[in-house]
Chain A
Amino acid sequence: MGSRGGSPRPAAPLLVPVLAVLAAGAAEARATSESQLPGAAAMGTGTPPSPTGTAFEETRLHVFTLDYPHVQIPFEITLWILLASLAKIGFHLYHKLPSIVPESCLLILVGLLLGGIIFGAEEKSPPVMNSDVFFLYLLPPIVLDAGYFMPTRLFFENFGTIFWYAVVGTLWNAIGIGISLYGICQISAFGLTDITLLQNLLFGSLISAVDPVAVLAVFENIHVNEQLYILVFGESLLNDAITVVLYNLFKSFCQMRTIKVIDIFAGIANFFIVGIGGVLIGILLGFVAAFTTRFTHKIRVIEPLFVFLYSYLSYITAEMFHLSGIMAITACAMTMNKYVEENVSQKSYTTIKYFMKMLSSVSETLIFIFMGVSTVGKNHEWNWAFVSFTLLFCLIWRALGVFVLTQIINVFRTIPLTFKDQFIIAYGGLRGAICFSLVFLLPPAVFPRKKLFITAVIVVIFFTVFIQGITIRPLVEFLDVKRSNKKQPAVSEEIYNRFFDHVKTGIEDVCGHWGHNFWRDKFKKFDNKYLRRLLIRENQPKSSIVSLYKKLEIKHAIEMAESGMISKVPSSVSLSDYHEGKIKPLSPTEMENMREILTKNLYQIRHRTMSYNRHSLAADANEKQAKEILIRRRHSLRESLRKTNSLSRERPAAANTKRFLSLPKNTKLPEKLRVRNKTSSRVGDSSDSEMDASTTVLNLRPRAGKILRDQRLRQQRPPPEFRVEWKNEVDGSQDRRGEQQELSTLPQPSIGFRQPLLTRPRFGTLSREDLTADHGLARPVPPPRLVRQASQGERQRNKPENQPY
């Protein structure tokens, strides 16, 4: 006993395991039917045994105390989150499971289980899913994550359609469901006649809201094409405005005694204010955030904090005014994304990305678990008619709505939506936690049948999440809906896209047609002129081609640095594939060697560049040179490592070129070919490997060179100087190699390739002057690339090595 302030805490049963551990500390357990706070019991040990408060004034010193109420709230929160994450781990242990059943279903099941346990222990449902908790803490991270990584271009291209579905579609659904349910309620046989029209309309409005959380959870695994995804997801985001308005509207109508026409107009005006107001708040705070990050270069560590704070601020500010918080935070995230990314450091960017993902994942997990937990309880009232008709009408009206609306919007779209698309859009209209929370928020005084509503909502949510969630994947495959194709970003594609944009804008201009491109162009100009100057710290006009190129370079540099010299992963696209075409079959081991060597030594893009530029340089691989070059290479690699560590994204491309041009493509080749185990540290072995150098030096690179070389020839632009020099080198090395026949037949390199060589002198920074001094050549010594084609036999051997690539 002991009257420890003891109102039973709701989640007390969670402490059962804790209790077991702390059994030793509990001297006096509360002898009630429910397992109670050990904390209370512990306090009982601390104070005099008499519960009535009489007896000793003194207490002994406590060796061991247990004070649960002190840490209760954080403790419970931590336990919940931990439980959610453990559940997630559990699902992924069986790797096939998440692909069949979406995680959301599994989480709800776990929640149900837990709820059952708690209910069984306490005889009442745990009020964990507080609507406030949901709307203020759990929902924002998910929406933020979605908004931040939304493909803005696609979103705006389809904005009209999305808006149409969100506003008109939700209205259609809400009113349709409301009215038809009212019709059902009129049938006295069902015992529902006390539900008024307004109540039905309110119910309709809250159940017609497509839920972004559920949509995200289900769609992320099935990978439909981006267009479809953005339509469904965008709709779920934008319909928040309508939902908020309708919900509040009908709720107040229910509570008002008379409804005047003016109220209806107020409702319509409210919609505009809610939607536009929310967006404005979001954009405004997004700009402020971008502006703030302009000045944060001295305190990089708290940069991510600004992103989160401002977006959350936009959400709660909007909620404060009863505007649409979801739209506010989405607008804020989309605005911030553009500018903040350029102001923050690479590390902050990574932090932001991962932290956001983590938060949203945790939120989502918690939401579904709580939904499961809150389902179990006593706040249900079952009525077959109401529940089943609700479900039926939800499905029917959604399908009808999508169909009718699409017919209308297809007139305005240039790419009409097919039936398949429509089906997926209708099928993807999942309901989720938002309706759930909204229904809990209904004031019971005004809604005597609140429990009935709760039951109906739960049934609909479970149906959509479970049945639709599980079956959408096989349906997508059955209908052969176009899937998204995740390919490696390629510079050439970016170039084509850019080029194409220009072409289209030009044509639209010629036609005098103000299409998407026209507005996008205008916005871009405005952006460049004013916004970027204001919001970005060092404003350099950015081209997506260049940034993609840089990004790819950096990525490969990092990969290379990370893997040391032991990478087995061929730098994806080009090089490896590139060489395929020109080689004759080679033995597998040789191929393996070559591949290994290649991958260790090449960057994707940079090497491409080099290939074009140095293809024809004779490979003067005397030992000293090989050694020098090896040293130089490692040195420059070290530098690159250092530089990539303190990555600054604003490094001009030219600087990169400078650094890496020094890397002879196949410096390592000789050694590698020889002995597979030789690492880069074996500098001294170049003498041995020299022979290999000649053979290995593949015509790997030269392949590219050859291509371009021939091209050049065709263009008949012989570069005399270059040719001469090349010849010298060739002659010089002839006695060493003894394979000069092919050399002379090689076409001359073109002038274009000289350019990068001019940067060679910068190699001075790498302190390799001795190299040039050694050979006494007017131009810097080219690496031992073999342009010189090896003898026939070697050629046989070398060429095909790339085949497997």
Chain B
Amino acid sequence: MGSAHSVPAEMRELADRTGFTSEQIEHLHRRFKQLSRDQLTIRNLRPESDGLADEINFEDFLTIMSYFRPIEMNMDEEQLDRFRKEKLKFLFHMYDSDHDGKITLQEYRNVVEELLSGNPHLEKESARSIADGAMMEAASICVGQMGPDQVYEGITFEDFLKMWQGIDIETKMHVRFLNMETIAHCY
């Protein structure tokens, strides 16, 4: 425990920004150190990482983890909404690899192909048609509001929000950071 980030002021600032409590931050820091092997950053080990960062430091780590905080009972409507939007934005960025604000067909296809890549029996083409189909569905939800001459460029964040409307993202997208005892200290 204890490292460069144990300075109270910094910690408090982090806590404010991400919403974690100090124990959680300390614990996550411990975990961070395990993963980074006591370096200051975790390196990206994937060979081709277009659109992905090369290394992240603890702040980034914490920021990402904060997206997975569970909702608290005392949150009001507006906070809940903001929370939900943040989580969805995170997911959106995972799809949108070039960060242009839209999920294009190709990006979508990449996602689907990767998802289905574990299945040796599936041809690329089927994955592709599935992606196309899903894209169509997505477009169908959003197209209703577009003018006749508008072109559908890709799934924007608003469309994305719409699609996730029925799903309770706040309740699904959480990890129990809070139960410190249950976190396994492996390695």
Contact = CB atoms under 8 A, between A and B. Distances in A.
Interface stretch (A46-54, A202-210, A377-385, A709-717): A709-717
Interface in B54-103: 64-65, 68, 70-71, 73, 91, 94-95
Interface stretch (A121-129, A237-245, A557-565, A581-589): A581-589
Interface stretch (A247-255, A260-268, A503-511): A503-511
A752 interface: yes
Contacts of A549: 126, 130, 133
A710 B133 contact: no
Interface stretch (B2-10, B15-23, B43-51, B167-175): B167-175
B94 A545 contact: no
B1 interface: no
A75 interface: no
Contacts of B129: 605-606, 608-609, 653, 657, 756
A762 to B, nearest CB: 12
Interface stretch (A6-14, A91-99, A487-495): A487-495
Nearest to B186: A512
A715 B106 contact: yes
A755 B115 CA distance: 20
A71 interface: no
A467 to B, nearest CB: 32
A657 B131 CA distance: 14
Contact of B150 (A498, A582, A799): A582
Contact of B138 (A492, A510, A576, A710): A492
B121 A707 contact: no
B143 A581 contact: yes
A604 B130 CA distance: 12
Given A416-B73, A580-B144, A574 B123 contact: no
Given A578-B139, A578-B143, A582-B149, A652 B126 contact: yes
Contact of A513 (B116, B144, B171, B183): B183
B145 to A, nearest CB: 7
Contact of A711 (B94, B104, B149, B172): B104
Nearest to A541: B119
Contacts of B31: 510-512
Interface string A522-548: 000000000000000000111101100
A711 B108 CA distance: 12
Interface residues of A, number: 70
Interface in B151-187: 151-154, 163-164, 166-167, 171-177, 182-186
Nearest to B112: A495
Contacts of B115: 495, 498-499, 502, 543, 545
Contacts of B138: 492
Contact of A582 (B136, B137, B148, B185): B148
Contacts of A490: 134, 137
A283 to B, nearest CB: 27
B35 interface: yes
A414 interface: yes
A546 B175 contact: no
Interface in B33-47: 34-35
A656 to B, nearest CB: 9
B57 to A, nearest CB: 15
A503 B144 CA distance: 30
A574 B73 CA distance: 38
A584 B148 contact: yes
Interface residues of B, number: 70
Contacts of B112: 495, 545
B68 A581 contact: no
Nearest to B153: A711
A577 interface: yes
A463 interface: no
Interface string A174-199: 00000000000000000000000000
B122 interface: yes
B149 A577 contact: no
B134 A491 contact: yes
A752 B127 CA distance: 13
Given A504-B173, A512-B184, A545-B112, A574 B137 contact: yes
A574 B119 CA distance: 27
B154 A504 contact: no
Nearest to A710: B151
Given A543-B122, A708-B105, A491 B133 contact: yes
A510 B149 CA distance: 46
B147 to A, nearest CB: 7
A654 B123 contact: yes
Contacts of A652: 121, 123, 126
A496 interface: yes
B13 interface: no
Contacts of B70: 414-415
B184 A545 contact: no
A294 to B, nearest CB: 19
Contacts of A487: 166
A487 B165 CA distance: 12
A495 B134 contact: yes
A714 B148 contact: no
A574 B133 contact: yes
Contacts of B94: 499, 503
B116 to A, nearest CB: 6
A800 B147 CA distance: 11
A44 B95 CA distance: 86
A546 B116 contact: yes
B133 A541 contact: no
A496 B163 contact: yes
Contacts of B137: 490-492, 573-574
A704 B35 contact: no
Given A541-B120, A711-B105, A499 B143 contact: no
14 contacts: A414-B171, A492-B137, A500-B172, A503-B91, A510-B31, A511-B183, A512-B184, A574-B136, A577-B143, A605-B133, A652-B121, A653-B130, A657-B125, A657-B129
Nearest 9 interchain pairs by C-beta: A581-B143, A492-B134, A577-B140, A653-B126, A707-B152, A608-B136, A581-B146, A609-B129, A578-B140
Given A416-B73, A496-B167, A543-B122, 20 more contacts: A492-B137, A496-B163, A498-B115, A507-B175, A510-B35, A511-B175, A511-B177, A511-B183, A542-B119, A546-B130, A549-B126, A578-B140, A581-B144, A582-B148, A609-B132, A612-B105, A704-B139, A715-B104, A752-B106, A756-B129
